[in-house]
Chain A
Amino acid sequence: MKNTKLLAIVLYSLPIPVILMSLFTGPSEMASTSSIFAYFKDFLISGTAGKAIDFQTIQAILFEVRLPRILLAFLVGGALSVSGNSLQAIFRNPLVSPYVLGLSSGAAFGAALALAWAFIPVQLSAFLFGLLAVAFSYFAARKHKSLSIVSLILSGVIVTGIFTALLTVVQFLSDPFKLQSIVHWTMGNLHNASWKLFNASAFPVLAGLIILFMMRWRLNVLALGDEEALTSGINPVRNKLIVLVAATLASSAAVSVAGIIGLYGLIVPHMVRMMVGPDNRQSTLLNFLFGGMFLLIIDDFSRTIAGFEIPVGVITMLIGAPFFLYLMKKTNIGWEQ
C-alpha cells in the first residue's frame, strides 16, 4: 500500500520535468540546453544579449515548434490512455482499446477521403468519420434497448472491415503523391503539430476527459457488471453510453491530429494498473499523466534517434505488440462472462 502511494506521488510530479526536458530535446543545435545556458550566462555577465545565438530563432524553435508538439503529444497520449482505461472498465475486458469499435479505420478513411479530394480539413474529416464508425458499431449492436458487449465487439470488427475496404478504394483511386500522404497519415505521427492543431483538438479531448474524470469512481461500479450496477441504483446502459461517447470524443479528436497510434490505448492502462492497482478513481488521472508523459518520451525518441523521423505509431506498435501478447498469456481473461 505504501509503495503504491509513493509511486503515485512520483507519477504525479514527473510530467513537469519531462515536459521541460522535451523542450530542450531536438535536432536543432541552437536550442539545446547548453547553448541556452550559455545565452543566459552571457546575459548575466555582460548584461547584453549573447552574440553567438539568435534569441529570436530559439524562441521560435521552443515556442512555435517544440511546445505545441509537446503539448499535443501529451494530450494525445493522455486521451488515448484514459479512453482505453474507461472502455476496458465498461467492457469488463482488459484487452479492449479505443479502436475496438472501428474508430481508427473510420478516422483513417475520413482522413484519406479529405487527403484525396480535399473537400474539408483532414482532421475534421478524420474526427467525424471516427465518430461515425463508433456510432455505426453501437447502433448495429443494440438490440431491444440492451447492449451485449460481445455483439458490440463483433459489430466493431465488421465496421472496421467496411472502412478498411473503403480506405483501400480511396487509395486505389488516388494518385501516387496523395497515396503517399494517406499512408503516412495512417502510420501515426506528430510532426505536423502546431498551435492550430493543438487548439482544434484541445476542446473535444478535454471535454471527453472531463466527463470521464467525473465518472471515474462510477467506472468501478460498471466494471463489476450490469446487474450489480442496476440493482445498486445505477442505470448501466445510460452510464456506459456516457462513457462510450466521452471516450470516443476524446480519442477521435486525438486520432484526427496524430493518426493511428497503435495499441497505445490498450497498453498504457495496463501499465498504470500494474503500478497503482485497478481503482479507477485513482487511475483515471494517472492514465492521463502517465499516458501523456510516455507518448511524449516516445516522441522525443522518434525525433532524435535517427536522422529522419520515425512515426510514433510505428514505435508504439513495436513496443505494444509483444507486451500485448505477454498480457494475453499471463492474464487468463477471455470472453467468458
Chain B
Amino acid sequence: MGAVNTAVSIQNLSFSYEKKLVLHEASADIEAFRLTVILGKNGSGKSTLLRIIAGLLPYKHGNINVAGTELKQMSLHHRARTFGFLGQKHKAVFPFTVEQVVLTGRAGFINFVPEKKDYELADKALQKVNILELKNRIYTELSGGEQQLVMIARVLAQEPQILLLDEPTTHLDFNNQITFMKLLKEFTFNKLTVIAVLHDPNMAFLYGDDFLFVKEGKLIRPKATVNPWDTEFLQSVYGHNLQAIPHANRALIVPDLQQEIQHD
C-alpha cells in the first residue's frame, strides 16, 4: 500500500446552527484518490460536514487541514482550485446553453470574459462525463439525469483536486444513479479525491472505497476487525435491525423483517 496520502484531515470539529449542536469534536482523515462516502441518518450532520469543507459554512471550533493549509486560511481562489462542490439539485432559472453553464465553473479564474483556454476546459469536462454532444442544448430542457451530468462537468471544468458531492444521486432514477456512481469511481482512477454524502448505504457499499459515518456529532468508522457492512455496527448508526446479504465480496443491507416483526 505504501504511505497513506491524506487529502483532508478533520480535527475536533464542532459546529452548531443557532443553539443546536450538529458536530461535536468530530475527527477523521480522508484519504486521497479514493471514493469516500459519508453516511448517517437524516439530520445527523453529514451534509453540514460537507458544506463546511466546501467553505459554504464557516466553522469556529476545530481544524480542517488540506495539504498542509488550514481551510479557514485559504482564499476563495485557493479553495476553488482545491475543491469542487455539487449540491443536491440545481434549480435553473434562465435557459442557458450547456456550454454556458459549464463555463461558469471557470468563474474563479476569469477576470471579465472567458478565454480560449476556458472553452477548451469546458469541452474537456463535457468529454469526461460523455456528454459533449449536449454542448449546444438548452440546460433547462434536459432531463434530470442529464442536468446532473452537466453540473458535474461544470465542477470538473474548475479543475479541482477534491470533489465534494452532496447527495448527488438523490434525484436520479436507478439507471442514472448507476451511471453517476461509475463515473465517480472512474474519477478516483484519474487522481481525483471524491467525497460524497449518500443516503443509500447500498449504493455506497457497491461503489465506495472508504466509509465515514456521522453519529451524534462524531465521525466514526467500524472497527478495523469488521467490514463496514457489519450489521451490528450499522444497527448502532441507523437504529434499525438490519441484515447484510453478501454480494460480490461486499454486502447489501436490508431491514431484518423477522426481527422487526418480533419487536412489534
Contacts and interface: CB of A to CB of B under 8 A. Distances in A.
B136 interface: yes
Given A217-B113, A220-B96, A230-B55, A225 B90 contact: yes
Given A92-B93, A229-B107, A231-B84, A224 B79 contact: no
B255 interface: no
Contact of B94 (A231, A234, A278, A281): A278
A86 B9 CA distance: 41
Given A92-B93, A278-B95, A232 B114 contact: no
A227 B91 CA distance: 12
**In the complex, the 5 A-B pairs of residues with the closest C-beta atoms, listed nearest first:** A233-B108, A233-B80, A231-B85, A278-B94, A232-B107
B16 interface: no
Interface centre among B85, B94, B96, B100 (most CB of A within 10 A): B94
B76 A235 contact: yes
Nearest to B138: A277
The majority secondary structure among interface residues of chain B is mixed
B158 interface: yes
Contact of B93 (A93, A214, A229, A277): A93
6 contacts: A223-B94, A232-B104, A233-B81, A233-B109, A279-B97, A337-B91
Contact of A231 (B83, B93, B112): B83
Contact of B100 (A93, A94, A279): A279
A216 interface: yes
A221 B107 contact: yes
Contacts of A227: 56, 85, 87
Contact of B80 (A225, A231, A337): A231
Interface of B: 54-56, 76-77, 79-81, 83-85, 87, 90-97, 100-101, 103-110, 112-114, 136, 154-155, 158
B114 A217 contact: yes
B246 to A, nearest CB: 39
Interface string A64-80: 00000000000000000
B56 A234 contact: no
Nearest to A213: B112
A89 interface: yes
Chain A, interface size category, equals 20 to 34
B56 A230 contact: yes
B93 A94 contact: yes
Contacts of A221: 104, 107
A234 B108 contact: yes
A240 interface: no
A224 B136 contact: no
Nearest to A279: B100
B77 A233 contact: yes
Interface in A256-279: 273, 277-279
Contacts of A231: 54-56, 79-80, 83-85
A220 B94 CA distance: 9
Contact of B136 (A1, A218, A278, A337): A1
Interface of A: 1, 89, 92-94, 214, 216-218, 220-221, 223-225, 227-235, 273, 277-279, 281, 333, 336-337
B115 to A, nearest CB: 11
Nearest to B75: A233
Contacts of B76: 230, 233-235
Given A225-B90, A231-B83, A336-B91, A216 B104 contact: no
A233 B92 contact: no
A224 B85 contact: no
Contact of A214 (B55, B81, B109, B112): B112
Interface centre among B77, B107, B112, B114 (most CB of A within 10 A): B107
Contacts of B97: 277, 279
Contact of A220 (B54, B55, B100, B112): B100
Given A233-B76, A234-B76, A281-B113, A224 B104 contact: yes
Contacts of B136: 1
A191 to B, nearest CB: 37
Contacts of A94: 93-94
Contacts of B108: 232-234
Given A232-B80, A281-B113, A218 B93 contact: no
Contacts of B96: 220, 223, 278-279
Contacts of B84: 231
Interface centre among B93, B105, B113 (most CB of A within 10 A): B93
A223 B80 contact: no
A89 B91 CA distance: 14
A93 B91 CA distance: 12
B19 to A, nearest CB: 15
Contact of A218 (B81, B95, B107, B158): B107
A278 B96 CA distance: 6
Contacts of A218: 107, 112
A132 B90 CA distance: 35
A79 B132 CA distance: 38
A216 B79 CA distance: 24
Contacts of B110: 217
A229 B106 CA distance: 10
B92 A224 contact: yes
A234 B105 CA distance: 10
Nearest to B84: A231
A230 B91 CA distance: 16
A42 B191 CA distance: 81
Contacts of B158: 232-233
